[in-house]
Structure 1
Amino acid sequence: MDQDRIVPVLLGLLLASWTIAAAWTIVAARLRQRRADAIQRSGRRLARMVEESPALPLLVRTDGRIEASPRLAQWLGLDSVPQFLSELDSGSKGLRSEALAELTQAVLRTQKTAAPFRMVATPRGSDRSLALRGHLADPQVSPGGAALVWVFDFSDSESELVTLRQEAAQARGDFTALVSLIEAAPMPMWFRRADGTLRLVNSAYVGALGGESAAQVVDSGVELVETVDGLSAAQVALQAAVKGTPIERLVSVTIDNQRRAYRVHDLPLGTEGIAGYAVDVEDLEEMARAFRAFREAQRSMLDQLSAGVAQFDAKRRLTFANRPFQSLFKLSPTSMIDPPAFERLLDAARDMGRVPEVRDFPAWRRERAAWFAANETQEEAWPLADGTHLRIVAQPVPDGGLLLIAEDRTEQLRLSAVRDTLLRTRTATFDSLFESVAVFAPDGRMQLWNRRFATDWGLATDFLDTHPHIEALLGKISPRLRDPNQAKTVGDVVRAATLDRAQTSGRIALADGRVLEFAGVPLPDGNGLLTVLDITASQNAEAALRERNSALEEADAIKTRFLANMSYELRTPLTSIGGFAELLQAGVGGELSEAGGDYVKAIIDSAERLGEQIETILDLSQSEAGLLPLASEDIELMPLVRAVVEERSLRITRAGLSLDLQGSNLMGSIKGDRRRLVRAIGHLVDNAIAATPQGGRILVQVAREKQGGRSVAQIVVSDNGPGMDRESLARALDGLKIGVDGATVERRQGLGLPLARQLIQAHGGTLRLLSEPGQGTAAIVELP
C-alpha cells in the first residue's frame, strides 16, 4: 500500500519539475529574445548616429579593401562606395590623384607603425573641404590591422577662416589708415586708459599745447581742456565711461594765447578706455551769433510790416509767422507753441474761413503744397467769403523751405474801385455840367476838359486830345473873340490859378454875340481849374428882368393907389345908402307903409352884408399885397371867442343847430388886432353854420398847449356836417386867383376861409383844416 502511494507522488513531483523547467526555459528564452532585440535596436541606432554624425568612418583593410558609408561617396562625388582604396579616384570624380597618393602612403604607414595622420583634401569639381584623421583600428573593429580614417567636412569652417583672415588683414589696414588719419587730423584727438590717464595723442593735440612730442605730452599728462565747474577733463571722461554714453560739451580753450570755443567729445570704448576729440567751433559760434542776431532783427522787422510773412522749413513745418500773418489767418498763440505743418495750416485756415471757397479742397491743398518744389515764385489772389481780398506770394527758398507772404489788399481794391468810380463820376459830372470846365497843369498844359468846353469855344476834339499848352489854346480862341486882344485875359486867369495860387475871374464877348464868364480856381494838387459859363441868356434875362421890375414897381404903385381909391369909392356910397335907409326907417322922410318899412329894413341888411363883403375884399387884397395894417393890443382870448359866438346865436337858433363853447377865462391874453381876429374867427363859425345840417352840432373849444417850449393858444371850430373829400379840402383855403390868361380872376371857393387864413398868418399863427367825408370838418387855429 505504501509503495502504491509513493509512485503517484513521485510521478507528480516529476511532472511538477518538468513543468517548472519548461516554464523557466520559456522565460529565459523570452529574456534572451528581448536582449537580442534591444541589442539590434541599439546597433541600428548607433549605425544611424554614425551615419548622421559630422565625421564619417573609412575602414581600410590590409588588402586595400575599404568599407564606408554611402554618404562618404556623396561627399566625394561618387555614385557608390568602391571596393578598393585606389578606386576613390575615378578620373573625373573622387579624390585628386595627389591627395589619393598621400592618403595611400599615410594608410600604409599607419597599418605598419600604428602612427596616426592628418591631412586635408578637396574632391574633384567640388568646393567641399574634407579633413582626414587616421589611426590603427581597434581589433574589435577589424582584427587584421586595418586603418580607420575619420573624414570631417569643414567647408564652412574653412570659409569662415578665410573670411576671418581677410577681415583681419583689412582690419590691420584700416587700423593703420585710422592711426594715420588721426595723426594727420587737424583737430586735437586723444585716447585715455580706463583710469582716465592719457595714453595716445595726435600731432594737433601736441601742437595746440605747444609740446615737444606726443610721448612728452603723454608722460607729463598735460590736458588740453581746463577744469570747468570743478571737473577736470579726466573726470568728465570717467563719467562718460561710467554712464556708457558719449559726453559732448562746449568749452573755451586757450590756444596760441587766444581763447577759442571748442566742442569736446568724450567717447567710451568699453574696457579699452575713452577716446576724445575737440572741434574748433569758434567761427561757427560767431556765425551762429551773427545769424541769431540777424534772424532776430529780421523777425523784428517783419513784425513791423503790414503784410503777413510766414517761413516754412524743408519739412513743411511753420518756423515763424509775424503778427500780421497771425492776425490775417487768425492763428491762436497756442498754435504757435506747436507750429503746424503747411497742410494743417491750410486746414485750420479753412475752418476759420481764411482761404477761398473751392469745390475740391484736398486737390487745391495738394496744388499749394507743390509750391515747395516749384522753381519760381508763385502769386495768387484769394477772395475770402467775408469780402477780404488777399494777395499771396509763395517764394521757394534754397533749403527746401518756403517763404509765404500774405497782403490784405481789401482796402486797396476798395480804394481802387472808389477811385475808378470817382473818375467815371468826375468824367460824367464834367460832361453833364452846364459850365465849361478845363484843368491845367502848372506847366500850362491842359489835362482835363468836358465836352461843353470844346463847344463853347468852338474847338476841335482832335486838337484837345493833344493836351495843348495854354499859348496854343489862346491862339485857337483869339480869332473867335469880338476883341482878339482879350485872349490874354484868359491866359492870365490860368496862370494866376496854377502859379500864383490865386482865384480870379473875367468876362469876355465872342464874335457871334455870346458872352462868356470865366474864373480860375487853384486846386489842392497844384493844378488850376478854368470854369467858363455862357451867360448870354442870363444877360438877356437880366435886361428883361430890369424892364419887368420897373413895370412891376409901377404896377405896385398903381395897385396901392387903386386900393386906396376903391376903399374910398366903395365905402362912401355904401355909408350914404345905409344912412339914408336908417333916416327913412326913423320916419324922417315921413311915415312908411308896412311894405315900405320892410323894404327899408331889407336895404339896411343888404348894406350891412355888402359892407362886410367890401371889408373882406379890402382886407384880403391888402393882405395879398402886403399892405394890411394890424393893430397890436392885449386881447383876452375867451371873451373874444364868446363875443363872436354870441353875435351869431340868432343864426344858430334859426338854423336849428346847437353850439357848445368850451374854455375858461383863465386862457390868458394874446397880442393882435381885435377887429381882424373877430372877423377871422367869425368866418370860421359862419362856415361851420353853413356846412352843418339842421339838428347838427357845432363845437368851439379854446385851450392852451406847450409847443417847442412856448405856450400856444389853440381855437378849434368843428362841426358834424357832411365833411369834405381830399380834393375839396385842398381847395378850401384857396381864394381869388389870377386866371390862366393872366388877366381874369377865378373864384374857386368863398372868401371867408382865405381871408381867415390871411388874417391868422398875419398874426404869426396857423390855420389847419381836418375833414373826412361823413365825419364833419374841424378848423384848428394856433396863435402865439
Structure 2
Amino acid sequence: MDLGSTALALLGLLLAAWTAGAAWLMIAAGARARGADAARRTAMRLNRLLDEAPTAALLVRSDGRLEGSERLAHWLGLDQLPQFLGELAKYPDRGLTSDQLDELTEKVRLAQKSAAPFRMAVTLPGSSRSLALRGSLADPQVSPGGAALIWVFDFSESELELSRMRKETARARSDFAALVGLIEAAPTPMWFRNADMQLQLVNKAYVAAVGAEDAQSVIDQQIELVEAVDGAIPADVAREASVTGEPIERVVSVTSVDGVRRRFRVSDLPLGEEGVAGYAVDIQEQEDQARQHRAYREAQRSMLDRLSVGVAQFDGERKLTFANQPFRRLLGMRPGSGPLGTSFERMLSDARDEGRLPEVRDFPTWRKDRVDWFGEDATQEEDWPLSDGTHLSVVGQPMPDGGLALILEDRTEQLSLAANRDTLLRTRTAMLDSLFEALAVFAPDGTLQLWNHSFPETWGLEADALDSHPSVDALLDMIERNLARPRQIKGVAEVIRSATLDRKERAGRLQLADGRTIEFAGIPLPDGNGLLTTLDVTANEQAEMALRDRAEALEQADKVKTRFLANMSYEFRTPLTSIGGFAELLQAEVAGPLSDGAKEYVAAILESVARLTDQVENVLDLSQSEAGLLPIARRELSLLAFVAGVARAREDAIEAKSITLDLRGSQSLKLAADPRQLGRAIGQLLDNAIEACGENGRILVDISAHEGGARIVISDNGRGMEEAELTRALDGMRDDGGSDTTRRQGLGLPLARQLIEAHGGRFEIQSQKGVGTSVTMTLPRAS
C-alpha cells in the first residue's frame, strides 16, 4: 500500500515535472517564434531598405561567383544576374564591355589579395546609364572566404547633368573666345569702359588707330581715339549714355596716325552697371561716295540738258524733280511753267492744253493709264502722234525708288526718212528685176527679203513659192530637190551665212539636176543684209572642161616624159658601170702592161665615165624631183663642217685656178637635211661658181641662221649672166658656142633648185654680166 502510494506520488511528480517542462518549452518556443518573427520582419525591412537604397551590393567570391539583387541585374540590362564575373561581358549590347570587365576583374583580384579598396565608373554599352563602383574586401561575417564586396551606385542623372554642364561650360568658353576673337579681329575700333568710365578693354583696330604698341599701353595711358568736341571728352559722352540708358551716336572727325583726318560714326552703348561699350565706324568712304554721287548727278543732269532727247524724272510721289530743255520744248512748257514739284497729272494736263499730247476721247482714263506706269516693273513704250504732224516716241522707265523716268524723242524726221527709204527700195527692186544675174537679198535673221525675176528661174523654183518670204532653211529645202548632188546645198547655206553674219564674201559652184552649172557668191551689204548673186555658167563650164581635158593630156604626157627620162637614166648606169670597171682593170694593168699613150686613153675614159655618171645621176634626180618622187632621208648636220667637206672635195679645181674661197658661218648652227641631196645641190653650185670664175677669182660661202632654219649664200665674181642667159640656165639650157643653137646640158642650177625645194626651202639667184652670180638657199627647220 505504501509502495503503491509512493509510486503514485513519484508518477505524479514525474507528470508534474513533464508538464512543467512542456510548459517551459512551449513558453521558450513562443519566445523563439516571436524572436524569429521579429528577425524576419527586420530582415524584410532591411531588404526593403536595400531595394529602395540608391545603391546595390555585389558580392564577388574568391572563385568568381556573383551574389547580388535583381535590381542590379536590371541596371546592367540583364534579366538575371549571371553566376560568374566573367559572364558580365558575354552580351554585345548589355552588361559590361570587354575592356570594362578586364579592368573590374583586375581591381577585384587586387582587393581580394591586398584588401585595397577601389573606385570605378562605367557607362553601359548601348545605354546612357552610368554606374559608379566602390569595392573593398568583404567583412568575414559577410563572407569569410575572402570575397570582394562592391557597392554599385546609379549616377546617370548626375552624369547627364554634369555632361550638360560641361558642354554648356565648354560652349560658353568657346562663345566667349569667339566673341573675344571677333572683337579682336573686327576692322573697326571697339572698346569697353568700366563703371568709372575708364578704358578697360580695346581691340587691335583701336590700338592701330591710336598708334599704340599694344592694348595694355592704351589702357595704362588711357589713350582716347576721339578728341574732345566742344569741351566734352569721350568719357563724358559715355557717362551721359550710362545715366540715360540710351545709346548715343555721333559723327566726329578723327586724326589718324599718319595725320589724315577721317570721319567716324561713334556709338556709345550702355551695358547697365557693368559699364559702356563703344565702337567707331569709318564713314569717310561713304561721305566721299555721297559727294561723288552728288557731283555725278549734277554732271548727269548737265549732260541731259545738252541732249536732243527730252528727259524728265519724277520721284515716288509723282513729283517732277528734273526736266531738261528738250523735254520742256517737246511738251510745250512755257518759261516759268512746270516748276520742279509739279505733279505728273498736272504736267499731262498742261501738255494737253498746249496740244502736245495725242487727241483721245477719254482723257482722264488715258491719263490714269499713264499714271499706272509708276507701279509697273517693265519699261513702257508707245508713240504719240500729235495734231501738227509731229511724231513722239515715249519711253517710261520705272525707277528703283518708285519714281519714273520719262523719255521723249521726236521721230518725225526719222519717219520721213523711212518713207524715202521705202521709195528707194521700190526703185532698187525695179532695177534688180532688169538685171541679167539672179539676185536675192537675205536679212541677218535668214529671211528672204528681196529677189528679182531671174532668181526663181535660175534655181528652178516656182515664183509663187517666194511670196511668203521664206527663211533660208525653207528656201534651201526647195533648192535641194533641183541639185544634181543634194549635199552641195550645205555650200549654199555657208555662203549665205558668211554674207549675212560673218560679213565676208564667199563663192561657190554647183550643178543642177537638169545639167546646168551655177556659180553663186555671197556679198555683205552695207545695211547688214546679205546679197546672193547667181549666174548660169553652163557654156563657160563646157569650155573649161575642154581646156581641162587638154591640160590633163599635157600632164599625162609630161609624166610619161618624166618616167622615160628616169628609166633611161637608170638604164644608162649599167653600161657606164661596166665601162668604168673595165677601164679601172686596164689602168691597174690586170691584162698586161700599158704604154704611156694607152694609160692616157684609159685615164680619159675614166674621166668621161665619171662625168657621164654624174650627168646621169643629175638627170635621174631631176626627173624624180619633178615627179615628186625624190627620196629625202634627213639627219642632223653641222652645216659649217658639212659645207667645208663639200668644198674640200673640189680643192684641186679651186687650186688649179688659184681661186680664193671664203667660208663663213657658226659651228653651232645645225639643221636636219639629207646629206647626199644637200651635198649635190651645194656641189653643183660650187662647180658652177668655179667654172664661172677666172684665174685668181673669189668665191664666198656664207652660212647663217634664218627664221628657225638656215640660209646659205654662194656668190662669185665670175663672168655672170644676163637675164635671158639666166632664164635658160634655170631651165637647163646653155649656149654651146654656136650661132643660134642651144642644147640641154647644164642641169646644175635646175637640179640644185629642185633639191633645195625638195627640202621645203627656197632657191633664189641673182646674176649680172661681168659682175658675178649670187645664189641664196633658205632651208627651214624640219618639223
After TM superposition, the score normalised by the length of structure 2 is 0.36
Structure whose alpha-carbon radius of gyration is higher: 1
